[in-house]
Structures are given as structure tokens and as C-alpha cells.
């Protein structure tokens, strides 16, 4: 079945440490790939997206993601986490249509 | 800020009732999508409207319907509410019809059905 999988439900990281969130997709073709962040009481904000070209994508707030076709993955990384990065993160895919299909999300907690 | 607003922020209804949720998009955004986000899950696509016509629907029954108006506002209507309709409802707008255009999400309306 076609799906987007975020294997980690919850990650706790110390402030200043690095962060990596995993995302795998299961589709016949390579989709367009997105990472969104959702803070409490806020809507979804786009961090970055990949359509084609360079497989390392830079986004806002110091985030980057790497597309690996062989692993059907699009993992999100940040070298040094700030307390304000505590939020829920969603990986999403889309094809040449109208809808985003989201993973179940990963909650990130940042400890001082 | 995304420039997309939604009202109300919270709503409580009882089973069998009808509800209307509203979204105001950025000026010039002629495409709006609605998503349902149940607790602990990712958003699920309900449908999309482009130039005031529905042009895509996810796996939701006909009691979920919508409207889009020329002033860049839109509505999501849900009839015969069920307990499982309790969720955060998000609208997202974008300027063009294409997939590559960034979608801007509103903060959502949290609906509780008792």
C-alpha cells in the first residue's frame, strides 16, 4: 500500500544537540517531498521541499533534508537544536495532483 | 504568519448536528484545500476547490461538502456529525493550481463532537 512512514513517534533531544527525523515513503514513483512543522495552536509551516535536482535541500530555520532514492527516504536534520524547535514535524508527499499525503508525525521535545 | 485565517478556533457540537467552518485565504490564492487531522495523526486530505469548483476529493463521504467564494474565502460543511468527526480541520491555500506551489495553512478549527 502507498504510505508515508515516520518511524519515530517521539524524540527528545538536548538543546544544542543535533536532530534527525526519519521519513520513508512507499510509492511506485518518486513523489514530491515536503517537511512541515506544527507548533501548538499553529497551522502547518513548510520547512522545505524537494522536487528534483540536488538531493540535499536547505530549508528555513536551519533545517536541511536529504533525499535518498535507493532508500526511499527523506530525512530531516538540524545540526544544533534550539528550544523553539520543540514541535510536531510532518513528512508529506505529493504527485502531479492536488493533495498532500502526510505521515503520522514526530513530536520533538527539547530539554535544557 | 501565513495570511490564512480560520474561524471559529474551537467548536463543540453534538452528534447528528451540522457544522460550517470558515477559511479566509490570501488575496490572489484561487486554490484552497481542506484537511482533517485527528488527534495523534497526520492531516488527511478532504477536498480541494479551484476557482469555486471542487476538483479533487479524498476518502470522505458526501456529507463533507464545501464552497469557495470569489473573495478568497471558503467553507467546509459537515452534515450529520459523528463522534469520529472530532478533529482539527485545516485549510490551505495557494496561488496557482500546480503541485509545486507552496500551500499556506491556517491555524485550524478544533471540532469536538459529543
Whether the predicted pLDDT of B18 surpasses 90: yes
**Band (B71; pLDDT cuts 50, 70, 90):** confident
**Band (B3; pLDDT cuts 50, 70, 90):** confident
Report residue A65 as a C-alpha cell: 533534508
Report residue A4 as a C-alpha cell: 508515508
CA B43 distance to own-chain centroid: 11
Contact (Cβ atoms closer than 8 angstroms) between residue B62 and residue B71: no
Alpha-carbon gap, residue B77 to A9, rounded angstroms: 32
In this structure, what are the phi and psi dihedrals at residue A33, rounded to the nearest 5 degrees? -125, 140
Contacts of A105 in chain B (CB under 8 A): 40-42
Mean pLDDT of B105-111: 95
The predicted-structure confidence for A51-106, as pLDDT tens digits, reads as follows 888 899 999 999 999 999 999 999 999 999 999 999 999 999 988 666 899 999 99
- Tell me, yes or no, if A32 comes closer than 8 A to chain B by beta carbon: yes
* CA distance readout (Å), A60 to A78, A82, B12, B40: 10, 14, 36, 25
Alpha-carbon gap, residue A72 to A1, rounded angstroms: 14
Contacts of A100 in chain B (CB under 8 A): 33, 35, 43, 45, 103
The predicted-structure confidence for B29-58, as pLDDT tens digits, reads as follows 888 999 999 998 999 999 999 889 998 899
In terms of C-beta density within 10 A (0-12 exposed, 13-18 middle, 19 or more buried), how is residue A100 classed? buried
By mean pLDDT, which of A2-11, A23-32, B69-78, B81-90 is the weakest?
Answer: A23-32
pLDDT of residue A107: 97
Give the CA radius of gyration of chain A.
Answer: 13
Contacts of B100 in chain A (CB under 8 A): 32, 51
Mean pLDDT of A38-52: 88
- Residue A92: closest CA among A27, A41, A12: A27
Amino acid at each position: 500500500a502507498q504510505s508515508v512512514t515516520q518511524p519515530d513517534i517521539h524524540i527528545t533531544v538536548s538543546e544544542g544537540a543535533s536532530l534527525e527525523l526519519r521519513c520513508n515513503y512507499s510509492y511506485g514513483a518518486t513523489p514530491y517531498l515536503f517537511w512541515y512543522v506544527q507548533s501548538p495552536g499553529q497551522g502547518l509551516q513548510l520547512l522545505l521541499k524537494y522536487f528534483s535536482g540536488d538531493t540535499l535541500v536547505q530549508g528555513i530555520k536551519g533545517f536541511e533534508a536529504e533525499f535518498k532514492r535507493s532508500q526511499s527516504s527523506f530525512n530531516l536534520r538540524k545540526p544544533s537544536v534550539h528550544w523553539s524547535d520543540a514541535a510536531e514535524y510532518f513528512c508529506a508527499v505529493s504527485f502531479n495532483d492536488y493533495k498532500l499525503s502526510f505521515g503520522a508525525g514526530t513530536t520533538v521535545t527539547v530539554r535544557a | 504568519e501565513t495570511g490564512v485565517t480560520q474561524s471559529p478556533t474551537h467548536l463543540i457540537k453534538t452528534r447528528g448536528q451540522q457544522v460550517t467552518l470558515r477559511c479566509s485565504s490570501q488575496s490572489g490564492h484561487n486554490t484552497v484545500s481542506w484537511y482533517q487531522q485527528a488527534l495523534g495523526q497526520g492531516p488527511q486530505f478532504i477536498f480541494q476547490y479551484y476557482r469555486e469548483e471542487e476538483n479533487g476529493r479524498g476518502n470522505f463521504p458526501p456529507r463533507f461538502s464545501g464552497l469557495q467564494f470569489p473573495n478568497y474565502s471558503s467553507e467546509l460543511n459537515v452534515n450529520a456529525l459523528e463522534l469520529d468527526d472530532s478533529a482539527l480541520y485545516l485549510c490551505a491555500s495557494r496561488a496557482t493550481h500546480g503541485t509545486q506551489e507552496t500551500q499556506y495553512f491556517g491555524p485550524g478549527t478544533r471540532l469536538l463532537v459529543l
